């Protein structure tokens, strides 16, 4: 019983530490110009470049805009905040604090997750008001937004493990992954319209499964089984979390 109580107490301390890290990022980094550009304006202009002139229904365009916005906004906080804190040596103090590395990774991921979940409401509201897109499965929308946001926030934390003091170095590497993900995730072309090889490749992208859930909220059906979407995104989150913990430990030994 004592061991259980101690374990619960330790878990509470670690979660409080993670939340403190997230609040710190919220206060300092949410309104930085480079985060606003990379998290909000860049995905909007990219979406418009592909959507204008296309005869596509709102049930395809609106989920795509939400998915792209989540991808960029969720993964934009940590690649900026962590290099800056390395430069000011505050990240070293954070690593030397009496908390586990899991709390650090979780806290950094939470800041990107909360930012992205809030930003996703903008294209969602615009889509429902401007395009009058009906929402038929709210549960799928909530699950898709929250899980996808946390997945890509963790991916941003993973890339930020690279030991540099320049946000531009990490953003360059991150864009080499983010941009191809858009084109292999069924965002602009439905998965069932892709050739067989394309339908295999899309399964390598977490955005595929997040976009599938978000589209289900407007179309009422998914390409994959919803359980497959949930398990796949959960698997990517676990993979990114474990990889981030490993890299932060390796680069800070």
Give per-residue pLDDT as tens, 175-221: 888 888 888 887 777 777 777 887 888 888 899 999 889 988 888 77
Q: What is the pLDDT of residue 235?
A: 95
Percent of the chain with pLDDT over 70: 85
CA distance 107 to 14: 9
Which of 12-21, 63-72, 181-190, 210-219 has the lowest average pLDDT?
181-190
Cβ-based neighbour number of residue 105 at 10 Å: 27
Of the segments 60-64, 93-97, 115-119, which one has the largest average pLDDT value? 115-119
Residues with Cβ < 8 Å from 60, sequence gap 6 or more?
190, 215
Percent of the chain with pLDDT over 90: 15
Is residue 86 a contact partner of residue 165, using CB atoms and an 8 Å limit?
A: yes
Q: What is the pLDDT of residue 51?
A: 61
DSSP 75: T
* Cβ burial, residue 203 (10 Å; 0-12/13-18/19+): middle
CA dist 180 to 158, 201, 234, Å?
18, 11, 21
0.75 surpassed by pTM: yes
Q: What is the pLDDT of residue 43?
A: 67
Query: What is the pLDDT of the chain when averaged over all its residues?
Result: 82
């Amino acid at each position: 019983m004592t061991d259980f109580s101690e374990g619960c107490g330790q878990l509470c301390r670690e979660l409080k530490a993670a939340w403190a890290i997230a609040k710190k990022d919220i206060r300092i980094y949410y309104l930085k110009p480079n985060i606003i550009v990379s998290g909000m304006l860049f995905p909007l202009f990219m979406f418009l470049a592909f959507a204008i002139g296309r005869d596509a229904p709102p049930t395809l365009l609106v989920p795509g805009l939400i998915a792209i916005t989540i991808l960029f906004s969720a993964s934009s906080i940590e690649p900026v905040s962590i290099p800056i804190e390395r430069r000011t040596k505050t990240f070293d103090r954070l690593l030397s604090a009496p908390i586990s590395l899991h709390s650090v990774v979780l806290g950094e991921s939470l800041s990107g997750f909360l930012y992205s979940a809030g930003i996703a409401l903008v294209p969602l509201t615009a889509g429902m008001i401007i395009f009058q897109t009906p929402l038929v499965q709210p549960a799928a929308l909530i699950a898709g937004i929250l899980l996808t946001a946390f997945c890509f926030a963790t991916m941003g934390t993973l890339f930020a493990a690279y030991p540099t003091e320049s946000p531009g170095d990490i953003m360059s590497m991150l864009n080499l992954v983010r941009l191809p993900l858009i084109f292999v995730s069924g965002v602009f072309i439905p998965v069932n319209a892709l050739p067989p090889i394309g339908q295999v490749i899309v399964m390598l992208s977490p955005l595929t499964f997040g976009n599938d859930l978000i589209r289900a909220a407007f179309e009422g059906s998914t390409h994959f089984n919803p359980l497959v979407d949930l398990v796949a995104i959960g698997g990517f989150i676990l993979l990114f979390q474990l990889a981030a913990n490993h890299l932060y430990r390796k680069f800070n030994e």
